[in-house]
């Protein structure tokens, strides 16, 4: 079963039917929101809004461990994480999609492992690459078949948030090799690997990062988010049908 982690709007997409809502408890507390089983594109998937109902949870306050554990309890084995990000490099630009290839973690203070000495055993997972190659290839193939171009060599810098970055911070990320910047892929990706789930991040670029262009970042987000998410929905629709039959 496919699990989708993303914003709060997927359950409102035309043609999507909510067929079950499940509230779960985990050893790490409550997930961000009840999970919804959706019927879409002649297939089904589980959907979990990362920031909670109404988009109220800041990136550093999300219970990533509970979210990943809940999806595993629901029988999810492959996870597609949808993330709105800023563009550091000229490409991909606002409105474009990227299937993230690698990441650098700049977050701090988040519960980043199930190995807490109490509920989870110690694991030293291999994290190169952080995203499952076979699963990424399947996502890329679905995007190709539905005519959505993807950048597939993006490196994501994951920052603490919820504030946006300074121009100096973006220059530092660029020097480190980051081409995108976001706030939620870590520790989500590492926890998914600890849980034995295939995980990939589909990023929609919604703004140029601070200092890379003139103008308001929030205005750029408003201008490009709708077009980018429409592309995401096309990929998801193809993926849900293909994955449900796999």
Look at residues 141, 213, 133 and name the one whose alpha carbon lies nearest to residue 170.
213
Going by pLDDT thresholds of 50, 70 and 90, the confidence category of residue 163 is very high
Going by pLDDT thresholds of 50, 70 and 90, the confidence category of residue 224 is low
Domain covering 2-244 assigned CATH 3.30.1360.100 in the classification? no
Classify 211 in phi/psi space as left (phi over 0), alpha (psi -120 to 50) or beta. Answer: left
pLDDT digit string, tens, across residues 86-109: 999 988 888 889 999 999 999 999
14-23, 146-155, 205-214: which range is least confident on average? 205-214
pLDDT digit string, tens, across residues 109-135: 999 999 877 666 788 889 999 999 999
Rounded to two decimals, the pTM is: 0.92
Classify 200 in phi/psi space as left (phi over 0), alpha (psi -120 to 50) or beta. Answer: beta
Look at residues 112, 242, 136 and name the one whose alpha carbon lies nearest to residue 198.
136
Helix ranges (DSSP H) in the chain: 64-73, 133-145, 167-176, 185-194, 217-244
């Amino acid at each position: 079963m496919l699990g989708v982690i993303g914003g709060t709007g997927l359950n409102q997409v035309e043609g999507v039917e909510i067929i079950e809502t499940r509230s779960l408890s985990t050893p790490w507390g409550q997930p961000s929101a009840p999970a919804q089983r959706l019927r879409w594109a002649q297939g089904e998937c589980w959907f979990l809004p990362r920031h909670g109902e109404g988009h109220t949870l800041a990136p550093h306050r999300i219970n990533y461990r509970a979210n990943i554990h809940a999806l595993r309890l629901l029988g999810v084995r492959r996870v597609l994480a949808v993330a709105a990000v800023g563009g550091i490099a000229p490409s991909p630009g606002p409105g474009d999609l990227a299937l993230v290839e690698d990441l650098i973690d700049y977050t701090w203070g988040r519960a980043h492992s199930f190995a807490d000495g109490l509920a989870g055993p110690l694991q030293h997972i291999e994290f190169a690459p952080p995203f499952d190659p076979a699963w990424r290839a399947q996502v890329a193939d679905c995007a190709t078949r539905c005519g959505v171009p993807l950048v597939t060599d993006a490196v994501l810098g994951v920052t603490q948030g919820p504030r946006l970055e300074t121009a100096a911070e973006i220059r530092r990320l660029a020097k480190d090799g980051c081409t995108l910047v976001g706030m939620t892929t870590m520790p989500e990706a590492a926890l998914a690997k600890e849980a034995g789930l295939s995980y990939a991040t589909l990023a929609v670029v919604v703004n140029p990062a601070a200092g890379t262009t003139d103008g308001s970042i929030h205005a750029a987000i408003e201008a490009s988010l709708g077009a980018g998410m429409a592309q995401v929905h096309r990929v998801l629709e193809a993926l849900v049908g293909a994955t449900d039959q796999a």
